[in-house]
A and B are shown apart, each in its own frame.
Chain A
Amino acid sequence: MNDPAAPPSADEESARDVAALVARARRGERDAFAAFHARFARFVHAVLLVHAPRDDVEDLHQEVFVVAWRKLATLREDERASAWLATIARHAAQRRRAGRVDHAPLPEQLEDRSAAPRGALDGARLVEILRTLPEAYRETLALRLIEGFDGREIAAATGLTHGSVRVNLHRGMQLLREKLREEGFA
């Protein structure tokens, strides 16, 4: 049970900061929105990276904050702004994937990729492999490995408990290692 006399935890303080920021942005304070953007830009980027087509991430990142700005008045739990942003980002990515149809003609002779050398593992390929993991793991791992969040920051941003983040990171890494082995990158 929470002790009302106890000093607020770092997580509670962080949630209050976010709520205050959202309230100021909602009143139309541009500085507050800039701070809101700075605070969540990396988080939104990580979510988009593992959900959206790679070359659309930059555009969608802008779109997510445009939508957030317009719909700020509808956000009910200010301290949960990051979870709300993640939902906007996932929907935006889903819409973009659904609307994307490539009509590139097939070459006359298709390359036999099974026989082709894989080449070295690079960041772009690694992101592709991350995308194949279950959602909970891929977002957690993207926040940790790409954007450099630590476990506590991930918990604060996603609303998960520290324990859940620890489990997601551990299992996610196990799965990622297996995928890398399957792909011949271990």
Chain B
Amino acid sequence: MSDEYLFEKRGPPDPEVERLEKLLESQRWRPVPPPRLALPWPRTLLRAAAIVVAAGGLAAAGLWLSSGRGGATQFELADASGDVRVVEGLLATSTPADGAGGTLRRGARVVCGSGASARVRVADVGYVTLEGDTRVRVERSARPDEAATQEGAFQLYLERGSVSASIFAAPRIFELGTPSGIAVDLGCIYRTTVDDQGHTTLSVVLGKVSFEADGRKVHVPSHASCRALPGVGPGTPVWDDADATYHADVEAIDASGRTKGAAKPGASTSAPLDATTSATLARVLAQSRVKDSLTLWHLLDDPRAELRGKVFDRLATLVPPPDDLKRAIFERAPRKDRGRDYGTTRSSDDPVGDELLEKWEAAVRDEW
């Protein structure tokens, strides 16, 4: 073995080192933009701030106790334009927000009237921008003096309307609840809309979001969208550049298979597909590009065995699976998410090792 090549990366290559380098190429770092965060305070300012905080601590505590109000959070109304009100307290006191309103309390609602807009700062990790006709509730927050490193440290609930979230923090620190599921931030920018029936549309601009409800997790990457219904949860994600027919067809397939209160995640039915769904599915499969493996991969957890079999056939032509991963495995049981955010999957009761599924998923995800 040539240690010269191993250390210097110069001279005649050591064949074994070269072989390992080639094998490991797939594991290399793939550049992504750095996280963008609020500016850290310079050290001298931190010291000064510590003194100020310490000096003001007693006074603040006194004020807090005398006011009889608690539930302070790290959410803050940073900007407001137009008819924006903060509704809080047992008596649902509504306060007009003039420009910027300060810290929001737990349970407080920010209500934007028609044509209004507001920006809520989420600690030092980002902002949520509210559009007109939108109502958002502060669900949970780390206390102002608490380090916010645990999962779900900051939670807002979108009751209706549209918000855009720009969050640059560790994954799962921020969550946006909706009537149809929870958008778990994995470090990104995304827009969410809830209509009057509670139907939710999530579109990811940058980064990725895990859309979750009742044990089902849908991984939505940037430039993709996902619709969700109350009691049903998130549907199948589709790339934003897919044509309108494709979007509509996928939505129709979801609607026909994931009805309210129906199959639990992981459940399977062998009932044949009806003619309309068969035709719709045939159109989707025929139009699917390699990158649409995003959609097909998620359709593999549909409760209908016949549908999963057909999806498997098409997906296998776009991204070939490992040899031992056969159609019958997916006909027997849906693919099921096991990972924290996305990633590792398993068949629900099949003795085929998880490794094969994970290997295929890695290949499929490379196309997204």
Which positions in A face B, CB cutoff 8 Å? Answer: 26-28, 30, 33-34, 36-38, 41-42, 45-46, 49, 55-56, 59, 62-63, 65-67, 69-70, 72-73, 100, 102, 104-105, 107-111, 113, 121-124, 126-127, 144-148, 150-151, 165-166, 169-170, 173, 176-177
Contact = CB atoms under 8 A, between A and B. Distances in A.
Given A59-B187, A73-B42, 12 more contacts: A38-B34, A42-B29, A45-B29, A46-B29, A62-B170, A66-B168, A70-B37, A146-B24, A146-B27, A151-B8, A151-B9, A166-B3
Given A123-B23, A127-B24, A177-B16, A144 B6 contact: yes
A6 to B, nearest CB: 24
A177 B39 CA distance: 47
Given A41-B29, A123-B26, A150-B9, A73 B41 contact: yes
B280 interface: no
A126 B281 CA distance: 40
B232 to A, nearest CB: 25
Nearest to A174: B1
A173 B1 contact: yes
Nearest to A107: B351
Contacts of B169: 66
Nearest to A111: B351
B349 interface: yes
B89 interface: no
B340 interface: yes
Contacts of B34: 33-34, 36-38, 41, 65
Contacts of A177: 16
B28 A146 contact: yes
Contacts, number: 130
A121 B339 CA distance: 24
20 contacts: A28-B40, A38-B31, A62-B187, A66-B37, A67-B170, A69-B40, A73-B40, A73-B41, A104-B338, A104-B346, A104-B354, A107-B349, A111-B353, A123-B24, A126-B27, A145-B24, A146-B27, A151-B8, A165-B7, A166-B3
Which of the listed residues B17, B34, B42, B43 has the most CB atoms from chain A within 10 Å of its own CB?
B34
Nearest to A110: B351
A26 B40 contact: yes
Contacts of A108: 349, 351
B195 interface: no
B235 interface: no
Contact of B35 (A42, A65, A144, A145): A65
Given A26-B42, A104-B346, A126-B20, A148 B37 contact: no
A41 B32 CA distance: 9
A51 B289 CA distance: 36
B359 interface: yes
